[in-house]
Amino acid sequence: MFVTDMKVNLLGTTLDNPIIPASGTFGFGYEFASWYDINILGSISCKGTTLEARYGNPLPRIAECPAGLINAIGLQNPGVEKVISEELVKLKEVYKKPVIANVGGHSTDEYVKTVSAFNDVDNVFAVELNISCPNVKGGGMAFGTDYKTASELVKKIKEKATKPIIVKLSPNVTDVTEIALAVQDAGADAVSLINTLVGMRFNLRTGKPIISVGKGGYSGPGVYPVALRMVYEVSKALNIPVIGMGGISKSEDVIEMMTAGATAVMVGSANLINPFACKEIIDRLPYVMEKYRINKLEDIIGRAH
């Protein structure tokens, strides 16, 4: 009998498997508990949280694309106080494993305060900094496209944070490795990549953008080869864990992304197409591992190097 071990260690936490629904594509997690037992997931990266409540961008803020979609949600959330007192409490009732909080902001001070709010939340084992969101004005990607700005932000956060910090990197840069090295040197405990590419769609009748704010973040299978290349380059340059994402939709993608250097993977747009996407990937992963004679997933991390 072929024995498979899907466990991975991420920042000192053992995950039953490397599958993590990506922030912004899985709500706060408990919404999916009526579909299947979400405790099969390795972890969950919760919906992006800001210091104060945000409505997000005006509608429409989703546009379909070949091999993916564009979104410009704009970090809609009820604010960190309610996320901790309400959303994470609801999640804890149906999900017994530690999760990742995802934080966005408009200023260094806002990031620091929001991250610090999670210091004493027992079901959060790490905080993911969204410094790469392309559809938030006055923040988001502005922090993630300049290595000096990103570095200073991470340094300030690390002074106050007690949880490991994961920095989510933007692909909308000349050299993603430069940004990755800068945040590693500033004290980041891990990086996750890639966030969305910047894209547009137009209404052929009106000649105007479909998305209300014009541009948005393009994600889905179309970005997968780009994500693989960037994960490969960054994981080769860094000595901290890399979480890979970008167009992952099947078990084979997980194997390939880990081969490129990812310790764990995040599944995003696939959840919006099929609410069972993560479950199906996890269910099929042992069979794919057997097909390729992989006993232990941790053994293949970065084997392309």
At residue 141, does pLDDT exceed 60? no
Give me the pLDDT at residue 48, please.
96
Number of domains in the chain: 1
In the chain, what percentage of residues exceed pLDDT 90? 93
Give a yes or no: residue 305 inside a domain. Answer: no
Local confidence band at 143 (pLDDT 50, 70, 90 cut-offs)? confident
- Residue 2 is assigned to a structural domain of this protein: no
Q: How many CA atoms lie within 13 A of 283 on its CB side?
A: 8
The one-letter code for the residue type at 270 is A
Label residue 138 by pLDDT band (50, 70, 90).
very low
CA distance 64 to 15: 33
| CB 25 within 8 Å of CB 271 | yes
| 12 is a domain residue | yes
Rounded average pLDDT over 214-231:
97
Confidence of residue 93 (pLDDT cuts 50, 70, 90): very high
Element (H, E) at 243: strand 242-245
Q: Say what the pLDDT of residue 135 is.
A: 42
Q: Give the β-pairing of 68-71 and 216-219.
A: antiparallel
> Could you tell me if residue 1 is inside a domain?
no
pLDDT score at 1: 82
Q: Domain of 27?
A: 8-300
Question: Which CATH number characterizes residue 92's domain?
Answer: 3.20.20.70
Which member of 46, 65, 133, 278 is catalytic?
133
Could you give the angle at the alpha carbon of 180 between the alpha carbons of 178 and 182, nearest 5°?
70
Question: What does the mean pLDDT of the chain come to?
Answer: 95
Judge whether residue 140 has pLDDT over 50. Answer: no
Distance CA 234, CA 131 (A): 17
Note whether residue 273 is domain-resident: yes
Instruction: Return the amino acid letter for 107.
Output: S
The mean pLDDT of 245-261, rounded to a whole number, is: 98
User: Are 50 and 75 a contacting pair, CB within 8 Å?
Assistant: yes
- Using the predicted structure, report yes or no on whether residue 280 has a pLDDT greater than 50: yes
Residue 195 reports pLDDT greater than 80: yes
Largest CA distance in the chain: 61
Task: Answer whether residue 3 is part of any domain.
Answer: no
Active site residue 46: no
Written as six digits, the tokens of 131 are 């410094």
pLDDT at 136: 44
